[in-house]
Structure formats: C-alpha cells, structure tokens
Amino acid sequence: MNNAMSTRFSIQKILNTANLAVLATEHAGQPHTSLIAITPFNAWQRLIFATYRDTRKYTNLLQNSRVSILIDGRSPTGADAQEGFILTAVGRVREIGDHARADLLATHLERHPELSSFTQSPDCVLLEVVVEAYQIVRGIDDVSWWSMDDLNEEAAPVRLSSQALTDLTQRTLAHYNQNAEDFFSGTRDHDVRQNMEALLQHIAALAPFTILDFGCGPGRDLKAFSALGHKAVGLEGAARFADMARAYSGCEVWHQDFLALDLPADHFDGVFANASLFHVPGQALPQVLAQLHATLKPQGVLFSSNPRGLNDEGFNGERYGAYHDLAHWRRYMTAAGFTELMHYYRPPGLPIAQQPWLASVWRKT
C-alpha cells in the first residue's frame, strides 16, 4: 500500500467513527468556533453538518465560505491514544440544494438520530464542506498536509479476500434490510424519468422490451417500466427489498447477491442499473459487468447511474460504495465490451459542481 492510500484509509477510519468536530469560521478578522455533528459523504471528500440560519457561524459563512474543521482521532485514554491523530479538514462550505437534501439529510440522521427534531425546523439549513486538503498531526514534530491531488494519487488497488468481499456485501445488505421502509418512503417519489428514457430510447428492438432492473430496491422503477407495457424483471440483493418489490410492482424479482449472479444468456433488451453498481467493489466490477454483458441480447443496452467521485471506495456509514469519475468508469465499461452511447450528470439544470450523479448509456458490442 502506498503512502497516499494508507493516509486515505486512516482519514476515512477516523471520519467513520468521529461524531463531533470543531468548526472554525471567520468574518472581518473575527474568528469563531462551533461544535458540530458531522457525517462524511463520498468517503472523505465531503463533510455534512446542519445549523440554524440565525447563528454566528451561518452569518460568517455567508460572508466567507472558507472553513476548517478539527477532528480529534485519538483515543481518550490508554495506549491507543498514541496511535491516533488530530485531523483538520480545510475547504469551502456550500448549502445543499433541495434536489439532494432529502437523501443527504437521511444519511446524516442515520448517524445522528438525535438531531431529527432539530433538522425539521424551517430555520435549519443543511451544509456540506467540500474538502480541499487535510492536515494530520501525529505529534509535535509530525505534521503533514495532504491536498486532494496528493490523496488521489493512483496506486495499485488493494486486493480483498473472498471473505472480505462477502463481509462488506453483507454489511451493506444488512443496512438496507434494516432500513427498508424508511428508504422506500424517502425515495418512492424520486423522478428518474430522464434515466428511464435514456435507456429506452437507445434500445433497437421492437417494443415491448424485456428489461432487467438491476438493484431494483423496493420496486419503484419496476412498476414504472411495467406500466409502460414492458416486461420488467427485478434483481435485488436485500431480501426485504425483494419482497417489497414483488408486492409493490407485481413483477418477477430475483433475490441474488451482486457478487454471486446467476443470469440467463442473451435474454434482456436492456439493463437498468440505477444507483446500484456503485455498491460493487472495484475488484469485483469487471466480473459483474461481464455477466451483465452476457445477459443482454446482441446490441442490448445498459444504463447506469452512480454517485461520482475521485475513484475511491469504502464505507459511507454502513454502506459500501465505489465512486468513479467518467474516465475511470469508461475504462471499466469498454473493457467489458460496451460502447458508450451517451452520458450526462444529474440532477438536470444545475451547475456540474451541484450534480453528484453520473449517468451513462452503453451498447453491447
């Protein structure tokens, strides 16, 4: 493991366990510090917190969005205190828009359920820090700075054992099984017609189409495809979601682990992988894509939408995710035998900095 990768893992480990941090803001030369509850998102690249608008820190942020956040990663007592470090994130704060607020607030409240009533206040605003650099202090004479470019240095990926892959998959599925109803209530009304149309418009076969909804969740999109007259089949790793999808959509749903797929060959006109493939570790992604390629009919079409990132992967709370940029995702897809038809960022109509989702459409060749 190279130094950048080792540092990324250390930072992510602290962020995954730290609940509180000290936020430093400034305006007109006057510094101000606040204790905040944080939630990391996109691994270590973004930090979420909430505050009231009628606070000094929020007033400061309106005038100067640059901040630092200090996190104590040391154990309070014992030998472990020597193994941790003080972590400071430096970056800019921006308000999370309505398009993403529901999902990110749900993520924040999973980690901080005690903030539920606080965040329901109309005066409460959800913010994110886009981290530009980290400072790590391990001792008086052991201080280092890591920019995002430093931390994103390419390195040979860590090879996970079969048991490690199984464990991370089961941990992610357990989270979804335990939170299935809340997840459905929070995503039932999401508008993904843009994504569905991107898939359907590129299928060359005669309608109705046979479509695999890969990672169908509770069945929202299965039901929508079926309502359009297509034969939609769901595939879902979380048992609770699979049951909900059958009941909600009336469609056939296969309960299969993404890392242990059993798919018919040359069967589907299209595969709809909306917010699902990012849960596949990079190590296992070539195999999964090869299986999806094989289950498509000749000239079949695959749609994918994933939260984009800087080609890092790891746990975000209890869910494992891999966050690819476009170039990285293209390498995986073309190596699996797909040709790109189009790509775009979501939600539509926003600056790219406010579009965290990368959607792309691919033809089997």
Q: Residue ranges per domain, the chain?
A: 3-151, 163-364
Query: What pLDDT was estimated at residue 10?
Result: 81
Tell me the two tokens of residue 74. Answer: 């040391």
Query: What pLDDT was estimated at residue 314?
Result: 87
Q: Which of 51-60, 155-164, 193-202, 335-344 has the lowest mean pLDDT?
A: 155-164
User: What is the DSSP track for 236-266?
Assistant: ESSHHHHHHHHHHH-SEEEE--TTS----TT
Rounded CA-CA distance 73/13 in Å is: 9
Integer distance in angstroms from the first to the last C-alpha of the chain? 36
Give me the CATH code for the 3-151 domain, please: 2.30.110.10
Nearest Cα to Cα of residue 323 among 41, 18, 13: 41
Query: What pLDDT was estimated at residue 160?
Result: 85
Q: Does the structure show a pLDDT above 50 at 173?
A: yes
Q: Which of 150-154, 188-192, 218-222, 252-256 has the lowest mean pLDDT?
A: 150-154
Rounded CA-CA distance 232/221 in Å is: 9
Q: Does the structure show a pLDDT above 70 at 78?
A: no
Q: What is the DSSP-derived secondary structure letter of residue 153? A: -
Tell me the two tokens of residue 175. Answer: 């989270």
Nearest Cα to Cα of residue 17 among 27, 7, 9, 5: 9
Rounded CA-CA distance 209/296 in Å is: 12
The pLDDT tens digits of the residues spanning 12-32 come to: 778 878 889 999 999 999 999
Rounded CA-CA distance 211/123 in Å is: 44
Q: Whole-model pTM above 0.95?
A: no
Q: Does the structure show a pLDDT above 50 at 155?
A: no
Half-sphere exposure of 363 (CA within 13 A, CB side): 13
The pLDDT tens digits of the residues spanning 81-128 come to: 445 789 999 999 999 987 788 888 988 898 899 999 999 999 999 999
> Which positions ≥6 away from 161 have C-beta within 8 Å?
none
Which CATH superfamily hosts domain 163-364? Answer: Vaccinia Virus protein VP39 (3.40.50.150)
